[in-house]
Amino acid sequence: MSTNISKQRRDELVWKIREIRRFISAAPQDENTGNLLAYLSELEKDVNGKKYGLVFEEHREEIDEVLDTHTPVLTEDAGLYVDNGGQMNFLIEGDNLAALKLLEKTHKGRIDLIYIDPPYNTGAANWIYDNNYVDGNDLFKHSKWLSMMKSRLEIAKRLLTEDGVLICAIDENESATLRLLLDEIFGEAYEYDCITIIHNPRGIQGKNFSYTNEFAYFVIPKGDKIIGERRLSEDEIYWSPLRNWGGESLRTDARNCFYPIFVKDNKIIGFGDVSPSDYHPSKNENMPDGSVAVFPIDANGTERKWRYARHTVEKIINFLSVKETKGCYDIVLGKTFGTYKTVWSDPRYDANGYGKQLLNSIIPDCMFDFPKSLWNVYDCLFSVVAKRSGAIILDFFAGSGTTGHAVLKLNSEDGGNRRFILCTNNENNICRDVTYERIKRVIANEDYAASLKYFKIEYVPITERMYYEYADELLGHIRELVELENGVNFTGNDKIAIVLTDDELADFVEHLDRTPNCRKLYMGHDLLPDEEQQAAILERGIEISIIPDYYYRDLQER
């Protein structure tokens, strides 16, 4: 029988605390003895506290002090607005903890995928904590990193949909502690998959090994299959003839499997109808439009059959390819999608060629260290949202904007309407000169159908002030929250309008002729149109959407 030594020591310590309490309780009572008894209760509580899991020194950041006395608000930099149609995306400049607290008001339970690439805490003074670089000599470098991550991941969990996924990139410095932290925050309702990604095939020399990889933790709700299938590379695909072979593979065995497949420029462009039984074509027949009709006829001229009937073959067109031999065409079938493996080694994950060099091709001489490979992030996103065409993707360590770039690329390839929200600070003008500039140029260079709003986080002081004393200040920033939550733009948009005060409502109704194209009115939750105003709005076919009162409700309750 094993002995729990730690429990034995705790029990002994608790016994000693109780003995001290008994001694103090028997002494004459005054204010000091009361305080001592309270201290002992706190001490006993700590001794009996958490005994398994991640234990670390918790730290408060400067932003924690700011948020104790201020509430964050959003202000748009209208001069940085990018308008190229499509979905509205958002870039938020400022501390990401403040940004997350705002997003908790607008996007709680609405984010499909969170992808983050936080500081790796390598000890090389590559990230700042409370205006000081954290280096290898900092005795609390791990606990500072964990404190920073915990406060943000706790909110991140609340932002995810029921089937939402968190992906966190990391290297060996904090991989083990991150895994424990994720387990503590997300719990048993999630599964945790660690993917190894070869991002530097040349290797980064360590004392004993050259590091070629980093990791990506996928935090996935347990239950239904959520991760989709990956595209296989050409050398991974096993191709087999679509034409059947064997003794029971003749045309007469399945008449609905004998039909032409039209090929042009070595690509399948369509399928013909099932051929009549009295029609006997040659293997390939030239068509008037320059295409070739390919039939399931073997080299000996025997009429065989395709492996799939005419009414189902269109469903597998993405798995078909054309093989040409001496001017003759054969159709081959290959599985082009497969289960993701736990090691990703595509050469395009190379952070130098598809990260740094790609970024420099977009922004020449860009001063940004270690941008992610576009394909690294793209494949992470694809694995989760390939079939979620309207997904919302959040990255609150946005850095150079690779996540936004990957979302734009994915939408352009499959016609999706996914939108992104990026958050990053503006240290060394990163947000303005790198993140924003990259997204703006990618949209312009690739003519992506996408728009972008640039918000900055500001702070309204609230300490020792009654709510009504700063309510008007908060009211001035409601428009940005409505835009963020609904993915819309009020500026220059005659199809939507917003009213937040009785005077604005009265003016809107009085001058409805000014907005003949308006189809939706966002109205403050505390406004109550009279019967005449209500009738006038509805007569114009304008839908009323009530702005929720939860944006700043918590402040009213202080």
**Three-state helix/strand/coil letters over 476-503:** CCHHHHHHHHHCCCCCCCCCEEEECCHH
Question: Is 477 part of any domain?
Answer: no
535 φ, ψ (degrees, to nearest 5): -65, -40
Question: Is 192 part of any domain?
Answer: yes
Mean pLDDT confidence for 530-539: 94
Q: Are residues 369 and 278 in the same domain?
A: no
Mean pLDDT confidence for 453-473: 90
Which of 39-43, 272-276, 515-519, 526-530 bottoms out in mean pLDDT, i.e. has the lowest? 39-43
* pLDDT computed for residue 237 by the predictor: 78
Q: Are residues 253 and 348 in the same domain?
A: no
327: pLDDT confidence band, cut at 50, 70 and 90?
low
d(CA 87, CA 408): 10
396: pLDDT confidence band, cut at 50, 70 and 90?
very high
Q: Are residues 204 and 348 in the same domain?
A: yes
Give yes or no for residue 233 having a pLDDT over 90.
Answer: no
* pLDDT computed for residue 105 by the predictor: 95
10 Å CB burial of residue 45 (0-12, 13-18, 19+) is exposed
Mean pLDDT confidence for 250-254: 89
* pLDDT computed for residue 184 by the predictor: 93
* pLDDT computed for residue 5 by the predictor: 64
Which of 23-37, 83-97, 304-318, 370-384 bottoms out in mean pLDDT, i.e. has the lowest? 23-37
23: pLDDT confidence band, cut at 50, 70 and 90?
confident
Give yes or no for residue 412 having a pLDDT over 90.
Answer: yes
Q: Are residues 33 and 75 in the same domain?
A: no
**Which residue in 146, 131, 121 sits closest to 57, CA to CA?**
146
158: pLDDT confidence band, cut at 50, 70 and 90?
very high
Q: Are residues 450 and 527 in the same domain?
A: no
Angle CA 122–203–352, to nearest 5:
85
d(CA 290, CA 286): 7
β-pair partners for 424: 93
Q: Are residues 71 and 186 in the same domain?
A: yes
* pLDDT computed for residue 1 by the predictor: 46
Q: Amino acid identity, residue 263?
A: V
271 φ, ψ (degrees, to nearest 5): -130, 140
Q: Are residues 393 and 434 in the same domain?
A: yes
Mean pLDDT confidence for 443-471: 92
CATH number at residue 128: 3.40.50.150
Token pair of 132 as six digits: 């000081």
d(CA 304, CA 316): 20
Question: Is 307 part of any domain?
Answer: yes
d(CA 491, CA 78): 9
Report yes or no: 526 and 471 within 8 Å, Cβ to Cβ.
Answer: no
Instruction: Find the domain containing 273 and state its range.
Output: 238-334
Report yes or no: 83 and 451 within 8 Å, Cβ to Cβ.
Answer: yes
* pLDDT computed for residue 134 by the predictor: 83
Question: Is 324 part of any domain?
Answer: yes
Contacts of 494 (CB under 8 A, 6+ apart): 515, 516, 517, 518
Question: Is 151 part of any domain?
Answer: yes
Q: Which helix (H) or strand (E) holds 181?
A: helix 175-186
Residue finishing a domain among 334, 359, 388: 334
Angle CA 4–5–6, to nearest 5:
95
Q: Are residues 95 and 136 in the same domain?
A: yes
Question: Is 54 part of any domain?
Answer: no
d(CA 106, CA 104): 6
Question: Is 128 part of any domain?
Answer: yes
Local structure of 383: helix, strand or coil: helix
Report yes or no: 496 and 520 within 8 Å, Cβ to Cβ.
Answer: yes
The DSSP string of 258-320 is ---EEEETTEEEEE-PPPPTT----SEEE-TTS-EEE-SB-TT--BB-BSS-HHHHGGGGGGE
Q: Amino acid identity, residue 425?
A: N
Residue finishing a domain among 283, 305, 334: 334
Question: Is 479 part of any domain?
Answer: no
3: pLDDT confidence band, cut at 50, 70 and 90?
low
Q: Are residues 212 and 345 in the same domain?
A: yes
CA 480 to mean position of chain CA atoms: 21
Radius of gyration of the chain (CA): 31
Q: Are residues 96 and 30 in the same domain?
A: no
482 φ, ψ (degrees, to nearest 5): -65, -40
Q: Are residues 362 and 329 in the same domain?
A: no
* pLDDT computed for residue 235 by the predictor: 74
In whole numbers, what is the pLDDT of the chain averaged over residues? 90
Mean pLDDT confidence for 526-534: 93
103: pLDDT confidence band, cut at 50, 70 and 90?
very high
Report yes or no: 402 and 372 within 8 Å, Cβ to Cβ.
Answer: yes
Number of domains in the chain: 4
More confident residue, 281 or 337: 281
Residue 110: half-sphere exposure toward Cβ, Cα within 13 Å: 17
Contacts of 511 (CB under 8 A, 6+ apart): none
6: pLDDT confidence band, cut at 50, 70 and 90?
low
Residue finishing a domain among 286, 310, 334: 334
Mean pLDDT confidence for 334-359: 91
d(CA 189, CA 191): 7
Which of 310-319, 326-335, 457-466, 479-488 bottoms out in mean pLDDT, i.e. has the lowest? 326-335
Q: How far is CA 20 from CA 10, 14, 37, in A?
A: 15, 10, 9
Q: Are residues 288 and 324 in the same domain?
A: yes
The single-letter DSSP state of residue 432 is I
User: For the segment 159-199, what is each residue's pLDDT rounded down to a tens digit?
Assistant: 999 999 999 999 999 999 999 999 999 999 999 999 999 99
**Which residue in 146, 196, 86, 188 sits closest to 452, CA to CA?**
86
d(CA 298, CA 241): 11
Mean pLDDT confidence for 339-356: 94
